[in-house]
Every structure is written in structure tokens, then in C-alpha cells.
Chains A and B, each alone.
Chain A
Amino acid sequence: MDFTIKLSVTILIFLFAWLFQEENQSWDLQRTVLKNAANVAAHDASLQIDDDAKSRGFIVFDELAARSVFRDSLQRNLHLDASLAPISGSPVLSDVRVLLFDLLDDSNSTFPLFYEDHSLGFSQWIFGPAVVVVVEIDHPRFIHSSFSHSPVRVPVVAEYKENMVF
């Protein structure tokens, strides 16, 4: 009887440890695919620049095109529907939420600038025209408990920098 109780407790502890490990690994994989997709989507958005402004030596984003391409890239890379919810085969387990999408260019900013968003706790020096994005998904949960987990939140800055290589 004593042995059975000890064995049961040991197995229970092992199972919780196993689930905890799987949950943490899943968190990291989710964060990695979200970060990679957001990097690519911000990169694609940053290519949507106004040709007229470019011919005058300025980088000015085409906001409508940039927003559209950003969402399209997120959908393609994470296999999401139009509302950014995962569809079958998606590597993410919850809806993707775009918390911030900001375009900083020669029409609205002077560089370098110190970018801050207090509500998201995000700050960074920016040295050229940039697409600033923050996206998040829910924390994957394998163990249902009363503890609440912070969402997986990823900031991305796709920035044009002066080529210093001569």
C-alpha cells in the first residue's frame, strides 16, 4: 500500500513536469513562428513605398498597400484566414492580434528618433524609415489552472538604414 501511494505520487509529479515541459516548448515554438512571420510581414510592408517620393530622394510608405501586404504576408506565413484566425494546418494555436502597426517615414518623422509606446512597454532608437509592428497570440495552455499566462507578444521593426559600406 505504501509503495503504491509513493508510486502514484511520483507518476503524478512526473506527468505534471512532462506537461509543463511540453507547454514551455510549445510556447517557444509559437513565439518563434510568430516572430519569423512578423519579421517577414513587416519586411514586405516596408517595400511598399511611394515611387514619386522615392524619385525625389525620400522614402514615404504607401499606407494602404503596406497594411494590405502586411496582413497578406501574415496570412500566408501562418496559414490564417482573413480575420487572422488559424485555419487547418496553421502552426499557431490562437488568433493573431495586431496591436500596433506604425509607419515612420520621411513624411512624418525626423531620424534618428526614440520610439516609445508606453501602453505596450516598447521603446527603441530608430535610424531610418521603418515599419513598427507588435503582434500577439495567446499563451499555449496544456495545464488548465487558475493562473493566467501573459500572451506571447512580439515586437518587430523593419527599418531602412543607410548603407555604410563603401
Chain B
Amino acid sequence: MPILLIMILQPMLSYLDYLLDLTVKANTNYLVQKAAVEGRVTPHLRQEVIDNLKAVGFSENQIWIEYDPVVRHRGERIDVSITVFRNRMLFPYLFTSKTLPNSYYAKGSILSEYLD
């Protein structure tokens, strides 16, 4: 019976985990590209990304967005990273010697396009 349960649930849990990881990466890239135009991560952009992540089931206190709020002018670098709490799967990740991380993480670094 436990084997049958693993066979039924594992593909779905794995797929869900992959989709959430993909969502965090996609939103980080979106935030980075938008921040390049604005010269920084604006509160509006930050809220937009939080709303996107909340829409797929994360709560706001599980999301950490790190960035420097100072405006970067054209040619200066903007660094952004997003860490989101990862709900550990029911079943172990057996494919490498590494353990499954406790968070979804993505970062981006882009040159600002902003002209004052």
C-alpha cells in the first residue's frame, strides 16, 4: 500500500515542486527586467511580484525579496534575489547525494537603463 501511494503521489508532487520553482525563476527575471527600466525595484514592482507569487499559493511571509532601493543610473548594476519558502516534499529526493533545498531561490543582475 505505501508503495502504491508513492507511485500515485510522487509524480504530482514532483511536478508541483518544479512548477513552483519555475514560477519563482520567471518572476525574478520579470522583476529584474522591469527594474532595469525604472532604475530600481519600485514598491509597485515588488508588490506585483508578491501578488504573482501569492496567486500560486505562497503567503507573503514566505517570500523574501532582496534588493538595494537606491536608484541606479544607466550602466550601473541592479542585483535582485528572491527566496521563497519551500514546502518539503513528502518523499525524499533520491537522485543525487544532495538534499532538497529548503527554499526556492533565484537571482538576477542587470545593468540599469534609467536616465534621469
Seen from chain A, the residues whose Cβ lies within 8 Å of a Cβ on chain B are 7, 10-11, 14, 17-19, 21-22, 25, 28-29, 32-33, 36, 39-40, 43-44, 47, 69, 73, 76-77, 91, 142
Contacts and interface: CB of A to CB of B under 8 A. Distances in A.
Interface of A is mostly: helix
A91 B110 CA distance: 17
B29 A47 contact: no
Contacts of B11: 17-18, 21
A29 B33 contact: no
Contacts of A32: 22, 25-26
Contact of A73 (B15, B28, B29, B109): B109
A51 to B, nearest CB: 11
B111 A21 contact: no
Interface of B: 3, 7, 10-11, 14-15, 18, 21-22, 25-26, 28-29, 32-33, 36, 74-75, 77, 79, 95, 106-111, 113
Contacts of A33: 25, 106
Contact of A21 (B14, B32, B110): B14
Nearest to B109: A76
Contact of B32 (A19, A22, A40): A40
A28 B48 CA distance: 25
Contacts of B75: 47
A47 B111 contact: yes
Contacts of A73: 109-111
A125 to B, nearest CB: 22
A69 B113 CA distance: 14
Contacts of A10: 7
Given A28-B22, A36-B25, A22 B108 contact: no
Contacts of B7: 10, 14
Nearest to A25: B18
A40 B18 contact: no
A43 B95 contact: no
Contacts of A47: 74-75, 111, 113
B21 A29 contact: yes
